[in-house]
Structure 1
């Protein structure tokens, strides 16, 4: 494909977005009915602000979902320490709830506008960001074009490209060069990610490691934790977290397979809590007794499954166990971040499909803090082994802690790479008189 055809393809994408724009409202209404949008904040998707823009320098930070939001929290706090305002956009209800829980008034949160000319122009014109920082891998052509037109630096942090995305962009190399070439800076998560960004046209590219290694452990309400610990008592426990469809069935199989020997409590934390009703129905069909966090159900000695269908309480669920299976890896693909489990003292188990977290898992497994299982039967054997072998379990937990400590340092590398963009804004923020203009 020539440069001319690549430009025509991007122009066609923008025109298609404009043509489809009238359908955006009914589409978002449908998502609202599904619990995937907040009804009272739907206009944010069209670029309409719901709060005033503060005076002074402002950086737009975009994190698509929960994982990306967790990764950029330490970076956001560093920006705020420098007195730079942060506008955080996310794309999901769960990530918005996480922002409220973890960051509160430290940031301005808005839902990310649609990647269509009218909403994104309206959004950028109102917020006037001094720079745009995106976590990980999202590429939105219209948004990138509008930022470029206004000469707003576009920066990627904790940047990664999955195998599938890299193959797709490589097959459209001219389009990739036009888009990735607009990036002012890429701070890549690994050597492989850096090489892929360079191949696709990004420059300069530096390597930081994984920002998620610098995050704090997820918090917990100590009173709530103490209450559930009392209810669990001395029962053995294990957790299947960040599960996708099919993995709750796998957790139920494991529970039934090892219950005669362990009488354990199984904790299931679905990646999408809105699936709670369907998951409960499936579990009850299998004859299992379910207590749900969303109903504040009491865990009794007869409870088989504690269903963690709440938002922002991973710190609670992981503190109730020392064995954590991390989902989206057995019946789904891509994997989820294992570092939270390792931070909170869990031996980590995972299925083999962890393409999006390959380097992270390699480091944790190399240290001995995680183990891969190829199927449900192997998962059941691994959970039973760890439940009944305290020495092996404690060794994995200690190795996981060591792996997390070894992975820290990405934040300082990222900040150093960002200094040319942050220093002028820090000076402007600190020199601005109280009550001065934007």
Structure 2
């Protein structure tokens, strides 16, 4: 594709967005009905603000998922310590809940506007960000073009590109260059990711490591943790976390095979809790006794599966076990973040489809903190081995703690890379007279 055709394609994308704009309200209404949008705050998705813009420098940060939001938390707090206002946008109800629980009033939270011309222009005109920092891998052409038109720096941190996304962008190299070339700075997770961003037209590109290594472990309510530990007693436990469709059935099968030998409790935490009703039906159809966190069910000696179908309580579930299988890796594809279970003292197991967390798994496997399994039979054997072998389990847990310690430092590298953009904002902020918020 020529550069002219690439420009035409991006123009076509923007025009299509203008033509589709009348459908935005029905689209958001439908998503609200499905529970995928916050009904009371739908207008934010059209770029209409629900909070005043404070005086002084403001950085717009965006994270698409819960994992990306968690990775950004230390960086956002660093900006706050430098007296820079932070506007944080997310796209999901789950992420919004996380922001409220973790950051409270430390940031201004809004839902990200749809990548359509009118919502994006309305949003940027109101908030007037001095810079835009996005996490990991999302690309929104209309937003990027509008930020570029207004000469607002676009910075990508903790950046990564999956194998599939990279192949897709390489098939449209001119469009990729027209978009990636507008980034002011990319701070990548790994050398592989950095090289891919450079190949697609981004410059300059630096490597920081994974910001998730600098995050705090997910918290939990000590009283709730103590209650469940008392109910579990001395039973062995293992967890299947961040599971995708099919992996809950795998966990149930492993539970049934191992229960006569271990009498264990199996904790299942689906990546999407809204699937919990269907998962419970499947488990009960197999004759398993299920306790659900969302119902505040007690865990009794007869309970087979503790179904973790609540939001924001991964810290609870991981503290109830020392063996964790991380999903979207066996029947799913791409993997999920293995660093949280390693932080919280779990031996990590996973399928082999972990492309999205390639470097994190490489570090954990190299140290002996994680094991990748080929299939269900191999996973069952690994779970049984770790439940019955205290020394092997403890060695993996210790290796995980060591790996996390070695992986820390990405935040310092990222902040240093951002200094040309944030130092002037800090000076400006500290010269500003303290005043009430104003538009």
Q: Which bin holds the TM-score, normalised by the shorter protein?
A: over 0.9
Q: 1:332 aligns to what?
A: 332
Contact persistence 1:35–1:274 (CA under 8 A): no
Structure 1 CA distance, aligned partners of 2:416 and 2:206?
10
Measure the CA separation in 1 of the matches of 2:102 and 2:375: 35
Q: Is 1:75 aligned to residue 75 of structure 2? A: yes
Q: Secondary structure at the match of 2:420?
A: helix
Instruction: Quote the Cα distance in structure 2 between the aligned partners of 1:320 and 1:33.
Output: 35
Partner of 2:114: 114
Deviation per CA, 1:74-109, whole angstroms, max 9, x where unpaired? 101101111111111111111111111111111111
Aligned to 2:87: 87
Q: How does 1:36-435 map to 2 (within 5 A)?
A: 36-435=36-435
Partners of 2:79 and 2:35 lie apart in 1 by 32
After superposition, what is the alpha-carbon deviation per residue over 1:193-247, rounded to whole angstroms, capped at 9, x for unaligned? 0001011110000000000000000011111111111111111000110011111
Q: SS of 1:168's equivalent?
A: helix
State how many pairs are aligned. 438
Kindly indicate whether the alpha-carbon contact (under 8 Å) linking 1:232 and 1:299 is maintained by their aligned counterparts in 2. yes
TM-score with structure 1 length normalisation? 0.99
Distance in 2 (CA, whole Å) between partners of 1:20 and 1:354 is: 36
Runs of 4+ residues deviating >6 angstroms: none
Report the 3-state secondary structure (helix = DSSP H, G, I; strand = E; otherwise coil) of the residue aligned with 1:223: helix
Q: CA deviation at 1:26?
A: 2.0
Quote how far apart the aligned CAs of 1:19 are.
1.5
In structure 2, C-alpha distance between the alignment counterparts of 1:228 and 1:55, rounded to whole Å: 47
Distance 2:18 2:291 in 1: 47
- Structure 1 residues not aligned, in runs of 5+: none
**Structure 2 spans left out of the alignment, 5+ residues:** none
Q: Structure 2 CA distance, aligned partners of 1:269 and 1:54?
A: 39
User: Aligned partners of 2:251, 2:28: CA distance in 1, in Å?
Assistant: 33
Q: Is the 8 A contact 1:268 1:306 kept in 2?
A: yes
Moved more, 58-67 or 33-42: 33-42
Distance 2:2 2:13 in 1: 17
RMSD over aligned CA atoms reads 0.9
Give the whole-Å Cα distance in 2 for the aligned partners of 1:121 and 1:261. Answer: 62
CA distance in 2, matches of 1:251, 1:18: 46
Q: Is the 8 A contact 1:64 1:91 kept in 2?
A: yes
CA distance in 2, matches of 1:96, 1:435: 28
1:14 corresponding residue in structure 2: 14
Q: Secondary structure at the match of 1:342?
A: helix
| Alignment pair present for 1:30 and 2:18 | no
Normalised TM-score (structure 2):
0.99
1:104 and 1:227 map into 2 onto residues whose CA distance is 27
In structure 2, what is the Cα distance between the partners aligned to 1:145 and 1:60? 16
Cα distance in 2 between the residues matched to 1:226 and 1:220: 10
